A and B are shown apart, each in its own frame.
Chain A
Amino acid sequence: MSLASDGAELSRPLGPAFARAEPSLAGVEDYLALLKPRVMSLVVFTALVGLLVAPGHVHPVIGFTALLCIAIGAGASGALNMWYDADIDAVMTRTARRPIPAGRVQPGEALAFGTTLAVFSVAVFGVLVSWFAAALLAFTIFFYVFVYTMWLKRLTPQNIVIGGAAGALPPVVGWAAVTGDISLAPVLMFLIIFLWTPPHFWALSLLKSDDYARAGVPMLPVVAGLDETRRQILIYTLVLAPVGLAPSFFGFAGYLYGAVALACGAMMLILAWRVYRDRTGQAAVSAARKLFAFSLLYVFALFAALLADNLLTRLGYGL
């Protein structure tokens, strides 16, 4: 087809199908929901900690710009995830009211929204802050959208184990925005979130395994059964607890962080053990629910302690 005929095609009046197209019903709140604000809050917080504990100085405006770009990049990932997963979101009770399955946002609108935000977040990050950190952010978005959402999620029960790398990268991006490189400390922060993701998500999937089975998502409880999931949760938590202490062992954090990591790690182990032990009835549901709820607190508590410990050390009150 020649360019001239392309022009002719484009200049033709819109057909009746277009004339009958429904105008968008999407409100601003629907677009905000596409950004997965609750996931974004964890991303922004861990990235903030990565940025603040990194050695060196960053101007507050540049730091704010970095965080804004990381938040928008995370939101873009969420929107693109919702665009691709609209079919499975529609059959799961937890996600059926999301903007696309609910019919308030058209899939194409979500795709355009997510793509635009992804490109802008990386470009602005590169131009205003650092191209190295921007490349890491681009990789994070790529990993979440293409590797986790499009490839692994519907393929393997290891989906959230490998895909968890995307959620673990924000503190590394925050660190890189200041230092321009990656060292042991951000790798430890990455490992904490990476190892925390499986027990966190599998506790939820124990509660929602019927949903995942109906949607055809091969989550571990669906593929390997509830007992195997409980065993895996315990194994990952046994690895997570000592890794949570690693920043203190390697001298990257002091006793304050070590005490918080020890207490929270012990609590995670107790709750994971209860999930492993209580396999039937209300006790099983309660154990999974408690582990899921505490796992959220765990990651926030550890990163808050890391930040507090670092600030105290910088002020000369390090423990």
Chain B
Amino acid sequence: MSGNDNGIVLTEEQKRRRRARSIAIALSLGVLVILFYVVTLVKGPAVLIRPL
């Protein structure tokens, strides 16, 4: 989309901050995936047993 009157044109600083936020979200999701994977390995079949 070209920068015209109908759209929002981000400044370079805003683009940099948006990119940093996106990377942070991606890293957080990656950590969550790895966490579930590792806990599954640690618990083995017991991962389905969730005591109250």
Residues of A within 8 A of B (CB): 19, 21, 23-28, 31, 59, 61-62, 65, 68, 120, 124, 126-128, 130-132, 180
Contacts and interface: CB of A to CB of B under 8 A. Distances in A.
A25 B17 contact: yes
Contacts of B43: 62
B51 A124 contact: no
A26 B21 contact: yes
Nearest to B41: A61
Interface of B: 6-8, 10, 13-14, 17-18, 20-21, 24, 32, 35-36, 38-39, 42-43, 50-52
Q: Tell me whether chain B's interface is mostly helix, strand or loop, or mixed.
A: helix
Contacts of A180: 51-52
Contacts of B20: 27-28
A62 B39 contact: yes
Given A65-B35, A124-B35, A128-B35, A27 B52 contact: no
B5 to A, nearest CB: 9
A291 B28 CA distance: 38
Which 6 pairs across A and B sit closest by C-beta, in order of nearness?
A28-B24, A61-B42, A27-B17, A128-B39, A28-B20, A131-B52
Contacts of A26: 17, 21
Contact of A25 (B14, B36, B38, B39): B14
Contacts of B10: 23
Contact of B42 (A25, A27, A59): A59
A112 to B, nearest CB: 12
Contacts of B36: 128
A158 B52 CA distance: 34
27 contacts: A19-B8, A21-B8, A23-B8, A23-B10, A23-B14, A24-B18, A25-B13, A27-B17, A27-B20, A27-B21, A28-B17, A31-B24, A61-B38, A61-B39, A61-B42, A62-B43, A68-B35, A120-B32, A127-B50, A128-B36, A128-B39, A130-B50, A130-B51, A131-B51, A131-B52, A132-B51, A132-B52
A110 to B, nearest CB: 14
Contacts of A68: 35
Contacts of A28: 17, 20-21, 24
Nearest to B47: A128
A26 B13 CA distance: 10
Contact of B17 (A21, A24, A61, A120): A24
Nearest to B20: A28
A127 B7 CA distance: 43
A285 B7 CA distance: 54
A20 to B, nearest CB: 8
A23 B18 CA distance: 9
Contacts of A27: 17, 20-21
Given A61-B38, A180-B52, 4 more contacts: A19-B6, A21-B8, A25-B17, A28-B24
Nearest to A135: B52
A84 B45 CA distance: 43
A21 B14 CA distance: 13
Nearest to B24: A28
Given A25-B14, A25-B17, A59-B42, A124 B50 contact: no
A126 B38 contact: no
B23 to A, nearest CB: 8
A169 B20 CA distance: 34
